[in-house]
Amino acid sequence: MASASLLKTSPIVDKSEWVKGQTLRQPSASVVRCHPVAPSGLTVRASSYADELVKTAKTIASPGRGILAMDESNATCGKRLASIGLENTEANRQAYRTLLVSVPGLGQYISGAILFEETLYQTTVDGKKMVDVLVEQNIVPGIKVDKGLVPLAGSNNESWCQGLDGLAPRSAAYYQQGARFAKWRTVVSIPNGPSELAVKEAAWGLARYAAISQDNGLVPIVEPEILLDGEHGIDRTFEVAKKVWAEVFFYLAQNNVLFEGILLKPSMVTPGAECKDKATPQQVAEYTLSLLRQRIPPAVPGIMFLSGGQSEVEATLNLNAMNQAPNPWHVSFSYARALQNTCLKTWGGRPENVKAAQETLLVRAKANSLAQLGKYTGEGESEEAKQGMFVKGYVY
């Protein structure tokens, strides 16, 4: 294992039962001069959840499958609904989320679905638990656990992510409700620095969240999103990403997070959205895979990329380019807008359009499934799917 896991307390183990791959540094006899003493109080917290965490992570990171991110807050979901002329009511949110989770055959291409808290406890319009509908399709339910971004005092107009207070009991309750993985999104802004303070705060918050999640049976998705905002080139994104991921894995190790029981949700390495020099899918793949090889241990089972405002087709093409050769990790997707955009517009809030909208979502899920396998061609894509979705200063 990459690290001892900071999880549920179990009986103390002695050195002979030390977690595989860990060693104890023994003091040199030439330096230490003392009388023999009783064994020290050093203990390892082994986990009753460890095997389950590893199994869950591997299930989500299974060949040809990725994550449907449908964890938009009620406010953000309201913006989506407003774009098709619907009010932001619980009934309308329920109708849309029911459409998403009940797509026939979705589990062939989707292995996990990230839910907002309302959705985790919600039923479909037919009265079935959303969680049960997902499980029936072999889709693992997940839960967004952060409480959003707030200004980071002392920084260059940057943000930090709140939500650690009370996270342990909330996570335990989410597990009881059927969630088996969690998501915490923090962001780093290149135009605003990023400052050392912002990077360390992002990394530390992610590490604490990851340890708490594992302690309560949830596989943590680690997501430090490097925002697309800016005019910077791809080399600048690459340098910032290296710095951010170095900090993240340093603090994950400091917090004894089990690497085999996490998933990553990074940004692809691309130029800023306002940069004049655009990158090809091959360039994005080259830079992104180089970053992963330099920073991500092979013990991590899955890299589930966010789309971050790329068009549906662009996100799929870039993922496909990264899967043209074998990787040490499962390289896949965790898309929200890049899966839902055309689906939402096809639905338009009309019951008679539900089937057509579901078929549209299935087309996008299948396209990204093929991209995960390195077999996507881009043929037959609609013009709608090629439209970029970048929003400057986007709030999730």
More reliable by pLDDT, 84 or 5: 84
For 87, the 3-state DSSP assignment is coil
Active site residues: 223, 265
> Is the model's pLDDT at 240 over the cut of 70?
yes
Take residue 181 and report the two structure tokens written for it: 């993985």
At 308 the pLDDT is 75
Q: What per-residue confidence (pLDDT) applies to 158?
A: 95
**Residue 298: what pLDDT?**
96
Decide if pLDDT at 394 tops 80.
no
| pLDDT at residue 210 tops 80 | yes
Per residue in 120-161, pLDDT (tens digit) is: 999 999 999 999 999 999 999 999 999 999 999 999 999 999
% of the chain with per-residue pLDDT over 70: 84
- DSSP for 115-158? E-HHHHT-B-TTS-BHHHHHHHTT-EEEEE----EEE-TTSSS-
Pairing of strands 181-188, 219-226: parallel
Q: Are 125 and 153 in contact (CB under 8 A)?
A: no
* Separation CA 4–CA 261 (nearest Å): 11
Please spell the DSSP secondary structure of 316-329, one letter per residue: HHHHHHHTSS--SS
Which pTM was predicted?
A: 0.84
- Residue 10 predicted with pLDDT over 60: no
CA distances from 130 to 71, 133, 136 (A): 13, 5, 10
- Which element (helix H / strand E) includes 261? none
The pLDDT assigned to 307 comes to 85
Average pLDDT, the chain: 87
How confident is the model over 96-130, as pLDDT tens digits? 999 999 999 999 999 999 999 999 999 999 999 99
Percentage helix, strand, coil for the chain under 3-state DSSP, each rounded to 5: 40, 15, 45
Angle at 224 between CA 219 and CA 227, to 5 degrees: 145
Give residue-wise pLDDT tens across range 24-58: 333 344 444 444 444 444 444 446 899 999 999 99
- Binned at pLDDT 50, 70 and 90, residue 273 comes out as confident
Q: Give Cβ neighbours of residue 188 (< 8 Å, ≥ 6 apart).
A: 158, 194, 198, 199, 202, 224, 225, 226, 227, 240, 244
Taking the CA atoms of the chain, what radius of gyration do you get in angstroms? 22
Distances (CA, A) of 44 to 31, 112, 260: 26, 31, 17
Residue 380 is predicted with a pLDDT of 65
> What is the CA 135 to chain-centroid distance, rounded?
19
Tell me how far apart the alpha carbons of residues 7 and 110 are, in angstroms, rounded to a whole number.
28
Supply the pLDDT for residue 393. Answer: 53
- C-alpha–C-alpha distance, residues 80 and 84, integer Å: 7
